[in-house]
A and B are shown apart, each in its own frame.
Chain A
Amino acid sequence: MTAIRPAVEAKGVSRIFQGAGQDAVRALDSVSVSIRENEFFTLLGPSGCGKTTLLRLIAGFDYPTDGEILLHGQDIAPLPPFKRPVNTVFQSYALFPHMTVAENIGFGLKMLGKPKAEIAARVDAMLKLVHMQEQRNRRTSQISGGQQQRVALARALAPQPKVLLLDEPLSALDYKLRKEMQIELKRLQHETGITFIFVTHDQEEALTMSDRIAVMSSGNILQVGTPWDVYDRPAERFVADFIGETNFLTGTIESAGNGHARIVLSSGARVYAAAAKDFQPGSTATLMVRPEHAKLVKGAGDLAGTIETIVYFGTDTHIHVRLDGGEAFIVRQQNSRCASCGFERGDKVGISIGDEVAQLLKD
């Protein structure tokens, strides 16, 4: 087996935007990340976190202030965009309005100086791949938003780039179309075997589509991992908070080691938690419990409180509990046929947290 070489590697990449006077904006602060071959990799974070800046640096629309960007081991940071075997699907699609669907798709190959017959064959294959054969001679203004999205994808895939960059490509679509395109994108990635780097602020989109996710905040990558990693084993409070709904509890560490810790909560209950790093016994720490991992019990549990609100969601029910210590805690229960299963507003309840369910966080 050959050594696994990353498709794209950022090494200490910074991008500082020099503003007027002294205020410089650090859009990226010495970011390093390694993206594998054939991976669906997502850059996830709130707006302004630097995810689009990183994408633009890989595409070549912008140049890093510092650091290296390697494509299959070769530093591409100083190359102009037209010399990089990397293509982009733009948020606005940026389809050429004076060309037909087919001409749009063939544009990259034409610029590369490929023979006409090869371009025609490739355009045909692309049209088929995105199911747009019938619209090949339409102007881009004559097709729907979802179809424009497909054309944008086909156009970026046609030159067979080593890496495909996608800049929030689904944000302009309505909910149902977006769900369809998510599946479509996964299919295209499997069929083409091209490395996809996907930028989004939508955590649900990131979780359902990605092989791995990099969670970003204010110019830094906080955690890189599989969807399961970042959801179930977040390393930091920001990651836990940004992705999904979470309950935070504080407690004192009783003992720690081997990626585990025993914590005493303010209620006196002892909870076993997974810990991303070693924590000092005796120090206080934040504990994360996902609402669906906690369980409501009639008697005494690890925590005690009073039900404040019950919110019915169809597939599940969210039960908002005010803990005796004053904190809010949400428990999510899958709905069986028994609605909220005998719990009522105002009930005194216990919450049990199983072992290995809680996660200890770096603040």
Chain B
Amino acid sequence: MADRFDVRRQTGFASMAMLCFFLLYLPIATLVVYAFNDNESLAIWKGFSLRWFHAAWNNSLVIESSIRSFEIAAIAAILATISATMAALATTRTKPYRGLTFKYAFINQPLMVPEIVTAVALLIVFSRIKIWTGYSGLGYLILAHTAFCVPFAYLPIRARLESMDLSLETAAADLYATKWQTFRHVTLPLLWPGILAGLMLAFVVSLDDVVITEFVKSGGQDTLPTFMLGQIRRGVTPEINAISTVFLALSIGIVTAFFFISRKRT
């Protein structure tokens, strides 16, 4: 008998894998390296320097848009996670009924509808509301971000709820816990890693968004990604690299933090 089929032993597997990783990570590596370039040019290496980080730090527009990004992402992620948790509870702690699958699709709609369509739709609706109410604050962006973040928060929470042993909730009810107490003392603590995962996913997705933000934002409401987009139109300096590098470091930080939190909990 021949050995079991092992894809790693196929001809060309290693080189193919290397190529994929190369294509994935080389641009990012280049971006990070050139963030430390002591030159106006993106392409010509002159020497190591932190000047572009200083430049970004001293650029009040960068700082302003970063703060705005985090503000929107934080509020939107929290709102999306709360709605997603309730949606997940409503769709798992119930007897299956006709239309439940439709409801899943409905909740996950932002994953399926092209973002540009949502963006245009929101632009039209919000511009009307802006005229009616006269309000043109960050609320629109937060609302829009909350809406498209819901499915990202919903999926890990639902997965966690579905894998939970239902007899635990039955046992809590048997031990005199009301519905609320059961949720508070049994369901919620066990659901917590799922909620955290959903929250972080929603946060990162919101932080990263360009298309919807670009359409919905009013004047002077640039987030970091839309600010960077605007900068690139005017010619790129390694300042963009420096900002991206910080962004990358933050994302990795969040994901790593989540990994350790979730591992500790389970």
Q: Which residues of A contact B (CB under 8 A)?
A: 59-61, 80-83, 86-88, 90, 92, 94-98, 107-108, 111-112, 155-156, 159
- Bound Cα distance A95, B167 (Å): 9
Per the 8 Å Cβ criterion, residues 27-42 of B in contact with A are: none
Beyond the given pairs A86-B174, A108-B175, A159-B175, 4 more chain A to chain B contacts, judged by CB atoms under 8 angstroms and listed by A's residue number, are A80-B173, A95-B171, A111-B178, A159-B176
**B168 interface contact, C-beta 8 A:** yes
Contacting pair B165 A94 (CB below 8 A): yes
Stretch of B51-59, B153-161, B183-191 contacting A (4+ beta carbons < 8 Å):
B183-191
Q: Which residue of B lies closest to A103 (CB)?
A: B185
A99 to chain B, nearest CB (A): 8
Of the candidates A86, A98, A111, A156, the one whose C-beta lies within 8 Å of that of B177 is A111
Contacting pair A94 B171 (CB below 8 A): yes
Contacting pair B173 A82 (CB below 8 A): yes
Contacts of A159 in B (CB 8 A): 175-176
Q: Which residue of B lies closest to A80 (CB)?
A: B173
**B172 interface contact, C-beta 8 A:** yes
Q: Point out which of A80, A94, A95 has the most chain B C-beta atoms below 10 A from its C-beta.
A: A94
Contacting pair B167 A81 (CB below 8 A): no
Given A92-B167, A111-B181, residue A87 in contact with residue B174 (CB < 8 A): yes
A157 to chain B, nearest CB (A): 11
Q: Size class of B's contact patch? A: 10 to 19
Of the candidates B165, B186, B189, the one whose C-beta lies within 8 Å of that of A92 is B165
**B256 interface contact, C-beta 8 A:** no
Contacting pair A94 B167 (CB below 8 A): yes
24 residue pairs A–B, Cβ–Cβ below 8 Å = A61-B170, A61-B173, A80-B173, A82-B173, A82-B174, A82-B176, A83-B176, A87-B174, A88-B171, A88-B174, A90-B167, A90-B170, A90-B171, A94-B171, A95-B171, A96-B171, A96-B172, A96-B186, A97-B168, A97-B190, A98-B189, A111-B172, A111-B181, A111-B185
Contacting pair A155 B167 (CB below 8 A): no
A5 to chain B, nearest CB (A): 24
Contacts of B178 in A (CB 8 A): 82, 111
A322 to chain B, nearest CB (A): 49
Given A92-B167, A94-B165, residue A107 in contact with residue B185 (CB < 8 A): yes
Q: Which residue of A lies closest to B188 (CB)?
A: A98
Q: Summarize B's interface: helix, strand, loop or mixed.
A: helix
- Bound Cα distance A98, B193 (Å): 12
Contacts of B173 in A (CB 8 A): 60-61, 80-82
Q: Mark B135-168, 1 if CB is under 8 A from A, else 0.
A: 0000000000000000000000000000001011
Contacts of B165 in A (CB 8 A): 92, 94
- Bound Cα distance A346, B169 (Å): 61
B37 to chain A, nearest CB (A): 50
Q: Which residue of A lies closest to B176 (CB)?
A: A111
Contacts of A92 in B (CB 8 A): 165, 167
- Bound Cα distance A59, B170 (Å): 10
- Bound Cα distance A50, B47 (Å): 81
- Bound Cα distance A348, B176 (Å): 66
- Bound Cα distance A30, B85 (Å): 42
B249 to chain A, nearest CB (A): 33
Contacts of A59 in B (CB 8 A): 174
Q: Which residue of A lies closest to B186 (CB)?
A: A96
Lowest 6 CB-CB distances: which A-B pairs, in order?
A: A108-B175, A94-B171, A94-B167, A111-B176, A81-B173, A111-B177
Contacting pair B190 A81 (CB below 8 A): no
Contacts of A96 in B (CB 8 A): 168, 171-172, 186
Contacts of A95 in B (CB 8 A): 171
Contacts of B171 in A (CB 8 A): 88, 90, 94-96
- Bound Cα distance A59, B171 (Å): 10
Per the 8 Å Cβ criterion, residues 19-33 of B in contact with A are: none
Contacts of A88 in B (CB 8 A): 171, 174
Contacting pair B168 A94 (CB below 8 A): yes
